Amino acid sequence: MSDLQFFHEGALIGVLTAQPLDRVLDYKAPEGGCMLGAFVEVPLGPRKVLGVVWGEGQGGYDLAKVRAVIRVLDAVPMRHEMRSFLIRAADYTLTPLTAMLRLATRSPGLGDPPSMRKVLRLANADPDRATDARRRVIGVMQEYGGLAFTPAELAEYAGVGTGVIKGLVKQGVIVEEDTPRDLPYPRLDAGHSAVDLTPEQAEGSARLCAAVASGKYGTTLLKGVTGSGKTEVYLEAVAECLRKGRQALVLLPEIALTSEFLTRVEARFGARPAEWHSGVTTTERRRCWRMVGEGEAQLIVGARSALFLPYRDLGLIVVDEEHDTSYKQEEGVMYNARDMAVLRAAICGAQVVLASATPSLESWVNADAGKYTRLTLTSRFGAAVMPDMKAIDMRPEALPSTRWISDVLAGEVRKRLAKGEQSLLFINRRGYAPITLCRACGHQIGCDHCDARMVEHRFQNRLVCHQCGETKPMPTICPGCGAEDRLAPVGPGVERLGEETAALFPDARVAVLSSDLFGSARALKAQIKAIADGEADIIIGTQLVAKGHNFPLLTLVGVIDADLGLQGSDLRAAERTFQLMRQVAGRAGRMDKPGMALLQTYQPEHPVIRAILSGDEEGFWKAEAEERKAAGVPPYGRMAGIILSSPDVAQVFDLGAQMARHDGPLRAIGAQVYGPAPAPIARIRGRHRVRLLVKAEKAAPLQSALQKWVAQFKIPNSIRLQIDIDPQNFF
């Protein structure tokens, strides 16, 4: 079907809406007609809803009763390529097409006509009095550089009332301007300022550029240790894509990483790219969506949902830190952005670059099998070398139960303090203590709505459920036995480790870095920058710090509990631990000073710990791949998780058991069903959860079999059924 199909006024057309109705609705084309793919507003009952012209109408009933499209919105019609992407992504993830459309229409004010609006810019004047609130306003404007704000947005970002802003406008510190909504982004200059690549980098860059220039689909796994210049290399592929006049998308796993990356883009291309993630103002999101569609945004830097922007001509998708688990969306539409990037690129003839120091086993296997091209950068740039890695055997250390930093590790930290270098102590646990226990009766405080313990967050003086987010004040009386002042924290979290560190090194500046200690992404960014500038001696961090931040003064990484990830029964436990430990260790010694990574462990002879220490990555991947192959599990087999949840525990188990019994459509493709079993977290937000797991061979038509299987059952409204294709987590 061509993109240019036109429907004359009154023609019967099918419109897909984002409403939860599983079919395309018939309407009459409006006055002036409409294009296939046009975004339209249609009447639905008493409401007006957004939709896309999906094709010819079904017809077959009284045409006089068919209602007409209200209006065609002022947006570039959805392209054929986008429509194919949505259909294939819906088929793959077994998601209703209407829900996929919702992902593709997440632009505020999508249909508003172009208009002028008031925006605020910083002028060159100082206020008469610099109050705290005023400083915050100016700070926000400086930090966001070229971005435009409406008065309400600025007030929200700076956390001030609009009165403060009006005051600054009156004094001429801020000026109001009328601008058209949705300005195009400044042009990026592919030749602005390239660095001199090392021979190895140059070869990688040449191969990526040739792939991009081919204008065809292909995926490359770009593997290289942290600091080897992967970013420099893929930015050259971006440059080639810009020279070809096509658009490029760079996906990052964490919003906190964007600001450092934007600065690099600006240095390389002379201007800032478009941004798309939850930390961007609604005004900027709207601008981004429109400009991407009009081809006036050449490079987009964003989170996974940026895959659903309406690109005019997408030529390259980079998935940075491709192994990162946050690429898998676990709520609503369950999709893996890495896999969807490959799908999207295959449809539109684009190249994909998957960059990582520690690729996912899936990508490693695809590269090994020749489905992906493999590019490897073997050494760190400049004088930097990979840190020395050693285990600290915790058994002879015999620490008391309220201490977690061994004497060996403390000694190494002390050496860094004396030299003015930074140390990072890593623990993958948020909060103060994972367990709050009553010393009188043994009761552990749990969440009322979930089958999970509540975690003490001393900084907020509250208990928090990490499943549902429920919080309550820290009690002084045991809810189990009523004893007073007998509740005690058990085990370490990042906050408690901060306390131990402060006690051990009273003169050191200690910074605790955990996502929930910061009210906003901006505050977190500021803290990360302060640390990079040397404003801390010891950093205590969770998983957050493992993700690509650059701390030049850091020369020591201490992993407090390297065994933590090995305890799970999860299929990916070994892989995850291996990735995380190597990523964390990669934070040390990025500049000219050599780094050291120390792993505290009670099982130094565990094969995963030994693989991490020996640095024999290929050996680790091969062994892990062999094990998965023998077990017939991903990436050598396929899996789907079925999660049933309901307030009524008997009801979910009944349905689960019934589903397991009537497995004909699955058996027909040689697949097996396991379960029902209570999910590892058996209750979340008051809903009881039961899981079934379906395993199939790699080539089996899993999706269609699942569809037939599920269609056999009448599912009551009180039960929610979710299908998770290629599940990553088994919670």
Positions in the binding site for ligand ADP (CB under 6 A) = 195-198, 201, 224, 226-232, 381
Least distance (Å) from Zn ion to the CB of residue 431? 14
Cβ distance to ligand ADP smaller for residue 63 or 195: 195
Expressed in percent and rounded to 5, the helix, strand and coil fractions of the chain are: 35, 25, 40
Cβ distance to Zn ion smaller for residue 106 or 462: 462
DSSP state of 565: G
Longest pairwise C-alpha distance within the chain = 86
451 binds Zn ion, rule: CB under 5 A: no
Least distance (Å) from Zn ion to the CB of residue 515? 18
Cβ distance to Zn ion smaller for residue 143 or 470: 470
Q: Which stretch binds Zn ion (CB under 5 A): 216-224, 442-450, 542-550, 635-643?
A: 442-450
User: What are all long-range contacts of 163-167, with beta carbons under 8 Å and residues at least 24 apart?
Assistant: 164/131, 164/133, 164/134, 164/137, 165/120, 165/137, 167/127, 167/134
**Which two tokens mark 555?**
């020369």
CB neighbours (10 Å) of residue 450? 22
79 binds, among Zn ion, ligand ADP, none (CB under 5 to 8 A by kind): none
Query: What are the b/e assignments for 177-207, b being 16+ CB within 10 Å?
Result: eeeebbeebeebebeeeeeebbebbeebbeb
384 binds Zn ion, rule: CB under 5 A: no
Q: 315 near 333, Cβ under 8 Å?
A: no
468 binds, among ligand ADP, Zn ion, none (CB under 5 to 8 A by kind): Zn ion
Least distance (Å) from ligand ADP to the CB of residue 226? 5
Instruction: Give the Cα separation of 150 and 158 in Å (integer).
Output: 12
Q: 418 near 620, Cβ under 8 Å?
A: no
465 binds Zn ion, rule: CB under 5 A: yes
470 binds Zn ion, rule: CB under 5 A: yes
The residue within the footprint of Zn ion, chosen from 16, 392, 450, 639 (CB under 5 A), is 450
**Which two tokens mark 186?**
């400044």
230 binds, among Zn ion, ligand ADP, none (CB under 5 to 8 A by kind): ligand ADP
62 binds, among ligand ADP, Zn ion, none (CB under 5 to 8 A by kind): none
Residues in contact with Zn ion, total (CB under 5 A)?
7
Least distance (Å) from ligand ADP to the CB of residue 197? 5
Instruction: Give the Cα separation of 678 and 645 in Å (integer).
Output: 10
- Where does 512-590 have alpha helices with state H? 521-532, 573-585
366 binds, among ligand ADP, Zn ion, none (CB under 5 to 8 A by kind): none
467 binds Zn ion, rule: CB under 5 A: yes
673 binds Zn ion, rule: CB under 5 A: no
**Which two tokens mark 276?**
């798309």
**Which two tokens mark 266?**
């600006």
- Where does 270-368 have alpha helices with state H? 282-294, 337-348, 361-368
Least distance (Å) from ligand ADP to the CB of residue 263? 11
Q: Which stretch binds Zn ion (CB under 5 A): 320-328, 448-456, 540-548, 609-617?
A: 448-456
Least distance (Å) from ligand ADP to the CB of residue 161? 41
Least distance (Å) from ligand ADP to the CB of residue 550? 6
Least distance (Å) from ligand ADP to the CB of residue 232? 4
Cβ distance to ligand ADP smaller for residue 19 or 373: 373
Cβ distance to Zn ion smaller for residue 413 or 450: 450
What is the full DSSP assignment across 488-521? EEES--HHHHHHHHHHH-TTS-EEEE-GGG-SSH
449 binds Zn ion, rule: CB under 5 A: yes
Cβ distance to Zn ion smaller for residue 314 or 447: 447
For residue 559, give the 3-state DSSP assignment. strand
Least distance (Å) from ligand ADP to the CB of residue 234? 8
Least distance (Å) from ligand ADP to the CB of residue 257? 11
Cβ distance to ligand ADP smaller for residue 172 or 615: 615
CB neighbours (10 Å) of residue 216? 12
CB neighbours (10 Å) of residue 599? 26
Interface with Zn ion (CB under 5 A): 447, 449-450, 465, 467-468, 470
